[in-house]
Structure 1
Amino acid sequence: MTTAQLSVKREAAATLGRNSGNRAVSLWLWFVALLVFAMVVVGGATRLTESGLSITEWQPLLGAFPPLTHADWMTAFEKYKQIPQYTALNHGMSLEDFQFIYWWEWGHRLLGRLIGVVFALPLVFFWWTGRLDRGTGMKFLGILALGALQGAIGWYMVKSGLSDRIEVSQYRLALHLTTAFMILGLLVWLALDEWPAEPYVTGEIATPLIKRMASIIVAAVLVQVVLGAFVAGLRAGLIYNTWPTMDGQWFPSDYWVNPAYLSFFEGHAAAQFNHRVVAYIVTALVLVQVWLTYRTPVDDRIRLSALWLGGAVILQAVLGIATLLAHVPLHLGLLHQAGGAVVLAIAVVHLYATRRAGIEPRDFSSRGRASA
């Protein structure tokens, strides 16, 4: 393709791109994704401050109101005193200390309710006014249902720590955190799909290898999220606080527990080692992808998203090391969890860029009221 032909094609593509897409729907989805990101960070704070078990009941409607009187506060405090965590970790704590952890958990649950409202009400509006492209309504309903399921998973997780444990189950924590990251990734994808943008130019599309690598990277990041949840649930970041070795060992001597197959899920040393190794794998995959996009003539959006992903992964690795060496202080722990969400979001942006290259955008000019 000559330079003149490429210029004409780009100009035509730009004209089509300006007349397609639904900016309002996309902005709404980006805002919801931002709220989910905040939810991930606040959820990390509830875990690091041991606040997640401070509210011992699940009341989807009445739970939106915090204790309003001293008597209400004392009632909530007395309920907390009945669970093992209070006896083992917080026996004798003051009402003020209880209120501190209560507000973290209450804020986490309130943010979840807010996300549901912010997603559901505009969805009804956009659907009723015909702003949704045909076929997308069910996708949005799927996200809404997944969000509702996430609320139930959250209570399922909390319930695991109310009777026989002093913390929540690492298995349920992994399920809860992974579901949150999946919702974030889906929102980012749908927001990109709705945003009016210049189509990719034929001849600058991603190669099959780059497309496969983009998919593998997203999958690897999700695996790393699961492993990070097990580290968090087992408090495995509080041991082997050295790097690059684990107290002088490249492979921890206490990796295996009895029975051996439970090492991956219940072994503290194994949880940290696995998280370290997959971090190296993710970093290597991303750096290879950056190299591939720079040695191949691809659209600038593919190359730029790969570069941003490389920067985010390196920063996240540095944060992870710093968090480990400092014995997981609150501020670094939150930054590391937030960094994981950012890495996933950028990985999804990069995957979207590789998958949409060479595909003509949907025509939004003839939108009608969306049907299921």
Structure 2
Amino acid sequence: MSATPLTHSTAALSDTGSVIAEEQRIRRNRAAQRIWLGLVLAAIFALILVGGATRLTDSGLSITQWKPIHGVIPPLSEMEWQEELELYRQIPEYQLINKGMSLDEFKTIYWWEWAHRFLARGVGVLFGIPFLIFLATGRVEKRLRWPLFGLLVLGGLQGAVGWWMVASGLVDRVDVSQYRLATHLTLACLIFAAIVWVMRGLAPHSADPVPSIGLKRGAGALTGLVLVQIYLGGLVAGLDAGLASSTWPLMNGALVPEGLLEIMPAWRNFFENELTVQFVHRLGGYLLFALALWHMVASIVHGRGTTHCRRAVVLFGLVTIQALIGIVVILGQVPFGWALVHQGWAIVVLGFAVAHWRGFYGAYPMETRIRLRS
């Protein structure tokens, strides 16, 4: 006997109720994962700030060994402190710059580097353990399993890159390689950006339509340029290039200062010449400001009243603040506090740029395991 209309109606209602319950479960899981990823982002932000402070205080070479597990425990006795100091005395930075450093002075730089490594380990635990729990309990959506696992792998790679950076300053140099420092910083920011991307995709989005494909591409270009600026900032930090010129808007009295291409071959100037590196970083800042301004104006013209437009205005404001902070850093000859604010605000700009770009794509579609019967 064929099913009656009442039977069909009851089955449809049952299926609809099951789908709604499934979607509610997914929303709860997404909310929990957003909280988790938000905590990871806060930890990475703190890690990058402490890394900047470690660089500004010349503390990065104070720990001369890589002990991923045992290294979490700092020296606990006077003998252990003396052993760490003796290891430091064997590297060029001590012998050529800090010769005669007292134990108390050494402790100051040691604690900065130890805190940086401790936070790095903490980020790994904060990301890895909840991820495995979410995965084991079936709360990670299929589309995100491999991307999140890839982020876990990148975190491990970042630890290795950090030691690769430190190792560059233990034998023939009195500081770390600017190439490796910029790589280390940029990889950290890529991880940060990827987490923002995933977290934003798990969040509810407005129903505002995308005003134009050009605005979406512009948001992507802005994000890419922010990352390039961060890489250039890493080169500036690695070379102490912020001290190459302390005037603005001119550099050493000129729009284009002399001495930009003194090193041969010429390409090396863009990575090893302090004046050139600062000059290029300034040009990147001007370009970023101009692109953010264009993006805001275009968003107002084509998408006035939409959430996309409002985000573009906020992003331009953040970029403008970062430019002003950069000018303060230059004019003040890289004061510790302002230099740290400059680095931290760069991460804020990056995070918002990624969130803005991701907003054009909408939330991840629901992956319900229940389908309505026809």
Verify same fold: TM over 0.5.
Answer: yes
Distance 2:33 2:369 in 1: 16
Matches within 5 A, 1:224-239: 224-239=229-244
Matches within 5 A, 1:201-240: 201=208, 204-240=209-245
Residue 73 in structure 1 maps to residue 81 in structure 2: yes
User: Is the contact made by 2:229 and 2:284 (CA closer than 8 Å) also made in structure 1?
Assistant: yes
Distance 2:238 2:328 in 1: 19
Distance change (3 Å), C-alpha of 1:163 and 1:184:
same
2:151 match: 143
User: Is the contact made by 1:241 and 1:325 (CA closer than 8 Å) also made in structure 2?
Assistant: yes
Q: Which amino acid aligns with 1:231?
A: V
Residue 87 in structure 1 maps to residue 95 in structure 2: yes
User: Is the contact made by 1:56 and 1:79 (CA closer than 8 Å) also made in structure 2?
Assistant: yes
Distance 2:244 2:366 in 1: 55
1:362 match: 365
Residue 313 in structure 1 maps to residue 323 in structure 2: no
Q: Which amino acid aligns with 1:355?
A: Y
Distance 1:174 1:198 in 2: 34
2:207 match: 200
Count of aligned pairs between the two proteins: 346
CA RMSD of aligned residues (A): 1.7
Q: Aligned with 1:135: secondary structure?
A: helix
Matches within 5 A, 1:317-336: 317-336=323-342
1:125 match: 133
Residue 59 in structure 1 maps to residue 62 in structure 2: no
2:293 match: 287
**1:361 to partner: Cα distance:** 4.4
1:248 match: 253
Residue 37 in structure 1 maps to residue 45 in structure 2: yes
**1:270 to partner: Cα distance:** 0.4
Q: Which amino acid aligns with 2:359?
A: A
Structure having greater relative contact order (Cα 8 Å, sep ≥ 6): 1
**1:200 to partner: Cα distance:** 2.2
**1:296 to partner: Cα distance:** 1.3
Gap runs ≥5 in structure 1: 1-14, 368-372
* Off by >3 Å, runs of 4+ in structure 1: 18-21, 364-367
Distance 2:205 2:115 in 1: 40
Distance 2:364 2:70 in 1: 45
**1:211 to partner: Cα distance:** 1.1
Matches within 5 A, 1:338-357: 338-356=344-362
2:185 match: 177
User: Is the contact made by 2:303 and 2:309 (CA closer than 8 Å) also made in structure 1?
Assistant: no
**1:106 to partner: Cα distance:** 0.3
Distance change (3 Å), C-alpha of 1:154 and 1:347:
same
**Scaled by the length of structure 1, what TM-score is found?**
0.90
**1:363 to partner: Cα distance:** 1.2
Distance 1:266 1:123 in 2: 40
Q: Aligned with 2:53: secondary structure?
A: helix
Distance 1:361 1:50 in 2: 44
- Deviation track 1:137-159 (CA, whole Å, cap 9, x = no partner) reads 11111000000000000000000
Residue 272 in structure 1 maps to residue 275 in structure 2: no
Distance 1:206 1:151 in 2: 41
Higher Cα radius of gyration? 2
Q: Which amino acid aligns with 2:166?
A: V
User: Is the contact made by 2:200 and 2:359 (CA closer than 8 Å) also made in structure 1?
Assistant: no
Distance 1:200 1:298 in 2: 14
1:100 match: 108
Distance change (3 Å), C-alpha of 1:240 and 1:342:
same
User: Is the contact made by 1:205 and 1:298 (CA closer than 8 Å) also made in structure 2?
Assistant: no
Q: Aligned with 2:143: secondary structure?
A: coil
Q: Aligned with 1:136: secondary structure?
A: helix
Q: Which amino acid aligns with 2:236?
A: V
